[in-house]
């Protein structure tokens, strides 16, 4: 039997609209848990793993890492799902192949990021060298940066060069927070260690290249007007970036890496400036609003 969607129309169970509506409801009703509780637990678990406070079965457990990341990605997935058509699917597929390719080149040759190696088990490895879950780790970071820029720039984002350059700068800002924290908890290591909390400058030169390709492909994948309309109407679409700030900002703070902490604060200030959040701090629909949607 067909069910009714929120607007009163009939929706067949297990159809795409039905799945999208259920995913929207799941994220909307659990925003605080997804965007705050999960990253806090993740930060505690990763620090405890790095410091040897957990038993081997739990320390850096790849299943727990992947599940945690997947849950934190749900707001972005739910927000973008209605916009995914054939063009977007092909563009994301090409970007996924590119991400695997450039990461494999980086591990094997040290170009373009500088010599590095994965130091913990992140699950199944492609060719024994690159985590199969890499797209889940990397691609959302770029799309989050893109969405944040669309909201912050307003009408100026209609200018393609402006929004692409601004997004690439935001992607670099994201990695200035991510990489020092990842090195601190032992996800990967650079050989030799670089001057920025163990990260070499070459890593950021590499991110200019990989980030530029990713930004352009996302710009091709999703029509600007449709993506802007969706992120404006979907209050939780940037919650994944909230999770990022909480998780990696907290880890940087634990290890006294104050420049990345300040940069995480800058990202958080940008999120607040979008004025798109309505977290229910106590959970559920009856909880106290953290910030209202305009």
What letter would DSSP give residue 37? Answer: I
- Which carries the bigger pLDDT value, residue 292 or residue 254? 254
Can you read off the two tokens belonging to residue 217? 């492909």
Is residue 25, in this structure, part of any structural domain at all?
A: yes
Cβ 132 vs Cβ 104: under 8 Å: no
Is residue 215, in this structure, part of any structural domain at all?
A: yes
pLDDT score at 122:
86
pLDDT score at 197:
97
Q: Residue 270 CA to chain centroid, in angstroms?
A: 15
Is the confidence at residue 284, as pLDDT, over 80? Answer: no
Cβ 284 vs Cβ 278: under 8 Å: no
Is residue 290, in this structure, part of any structural domain at all?
A: no
How many folded domains does the chain comprise? 1
pLDDT score at 3:
54
Q: Residue 18 CA to chain centroid, in angstroms?
A: 25
pLDDT (average), residues 128-145: 92
Can you read off the two tokens belonging to residue 234? 């979907």
3-state SS assignment for residue 130: strand
Residue 277 pLDDT level (bands cut at 50, 70, 90): low
Residue 7 pLDDT level (bands cut at 50, 70, 90): low
Is residue 291, in this structure, part of any structural domain at all?
A: no
Is residue 285, in this structure, part of any structural domain at all?
A: no
Alpha carbon distance 243, 233 (integer Å): 20
Domain span at residue 176 reads 3-274
Is residue 93, in this structure, part of any structural domain at all?
A: yes
Is residue 84, in this structure, part of any structural domain at all?
A: yes
Is the confidence at residue 222, as pLDDT, over 70? Answer: yes
Is residue 223, in this structure, part of any structural domain at all?
A: yes
Name the β-bridge partners of 196.
199
């Amino acid at each position: 039997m067909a069910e009714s969607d929120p607007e009163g129309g009939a929706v067949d169970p297990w159809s795409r609209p039905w799945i999208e509506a259920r995913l929207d409801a799941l994220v909307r009703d659990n925003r605080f848990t997804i965007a705050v509780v999960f990253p806090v637990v993740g930060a505690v678990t990763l620090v405890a793993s790095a410091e040897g406070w957990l038993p081997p079965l739990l320390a850096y457990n790849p299943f727990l890492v992947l599940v945690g990341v997947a849950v934190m990605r749900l707001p972005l997935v739910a927000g973008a799902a209605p916009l995914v058509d054939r063009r977007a699917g092909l563009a994301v597929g090409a970007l996924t192949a590119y991400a695997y390719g450039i990461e494999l080149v980086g591990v094997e040759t040290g170009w373009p990021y500088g010599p590095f190696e994965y130091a913990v088990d992140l699950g199944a490895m492609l060719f024994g060298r690159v985590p199969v879950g890499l797209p889940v780790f990397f691609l959302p970071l770029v799309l989050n940066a893109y969405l944040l820029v669309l909201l912050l720039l307003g009408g100026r984002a209609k200018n393609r060069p402006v929004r692409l350059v601004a997004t690439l700068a935001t992607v670099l800002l994201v990695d200035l927070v991510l990489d020092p924290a990842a090195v601190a908890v032992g996800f990967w290591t650079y050989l030799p260690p670089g001057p920025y909390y163990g990260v070499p400058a070459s890593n950021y030169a590499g991110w200019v290249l990989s980030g530029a390709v990713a930004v352009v492909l996302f710009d091709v994948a999703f029509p600007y007007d449709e993506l802007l309309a969706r992120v404006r109407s979907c209050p939780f679409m940037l919650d994944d970036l909230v999770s990022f700030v909480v998780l990696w900002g907290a880890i940087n703070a634990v290890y006294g890496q104050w420049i990345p902490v300040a940069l995480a604060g800058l990202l958080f200030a940008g999120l607040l400036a979008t004025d798109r959040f309505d977290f229910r701090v106590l959970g559920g629909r009856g909880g106290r609003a953290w910030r209202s949607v305009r």
